[in-house]
Amino acid sequence: MNVVLLEPEIAPNTGNIARLCAATRSTLHLIEPFGFRLDDRELKRAGMDYWQHVTWHRWKNWTDFKAALPATARLWIVECDGPRRYTDVAYQADDYLVFGRESAGFPKLLLEQHLDGWLRIPMANPEARSLNLANCAAMVLAEALRQLDWPGGG
């Protein structure tokens, strides 16, 4: 499975997601620009000593990332107001779970180019604006791996 962070802004979120990817043997894709430096103390602290176990790639921009994808790649964009719940998708092992910036989400222009892959996490309280990025990544990745019977795990 692949987890993609488009322009992440908060180092601890990215560190926690890196730790999640290490534990699940998922590949992490980080797309610039970042709201922090990769040598950020908070990034390292949140990722603890798991960074050495993470398979990850750094991309200069969305265009470079997209150009490197296999033609058969399936992108699932997790963003508010998506037409389908993240639990209503049949995931495949090489899918890409894509999450936008903490402050602004996924850019509307790019979202319009990927309407078939637009998913949402339902929220019961309409007054809650959003969930934490690391929590969202954990929820969606756990569902995908559950469907795949937790490959490589017990």
Model confidence over 99-131: pLDDT tens digits? 999 999 999 999 999 999 999 999 999 888 889
Tell me, what's the pLDDT at 109?
93
Q: Nearest-CA neighbor of 100 among 84, 81, 126, 85?
A: 81
Tell me, what's the pLDDT at 40?
66
Cis-peptide into 122, omega within 30 deg: no
Q: What residue spans define the domains of the chain? A: 2-147
Tell me, what's the pLDDT at 6?
98
Q: What are phi and psi of 24, to 5 degrees?
A: -105, 0
Q: How confident is the model at residue 7 (pLDDT cuts 50, 70, 90)?
A: very high
The one-character DSSP state at 33 is P
Alpha carbons within 13 angstroms on the beta-carbon side of residue 140 total 35
Model confidence over 11-40: pLDDT tens digits? 999 999 999 999 999 999 999 999 988 886
CB contact burial 25-53 (16+ within 10 A = b; e otherwise) = ebbbbbbeebebeeebeebbebbeebbee
Backbone CA torsion sign across 66, 84, 11, 23: negative
Tell me, what's the pLDDT at 104?
92
How far is the C-alpha of 78 from the C-alpha of 129, rounded, in Å?
14
Query: Right CATH number for 2-147 from 2.60.40.1120, 3.20.20.70, 3.40.1280.10, 1.10.10.10?
Result: 3.40.1280.10
Q: How confident is the model at residue 78 (pLDDT cuts 50, 70, 90)?
A: very high
Tell me the residue type at 132.
N
Q: How confident is the model at residue 154 (pLDDT cuts 50, 70, 90)?
A: low
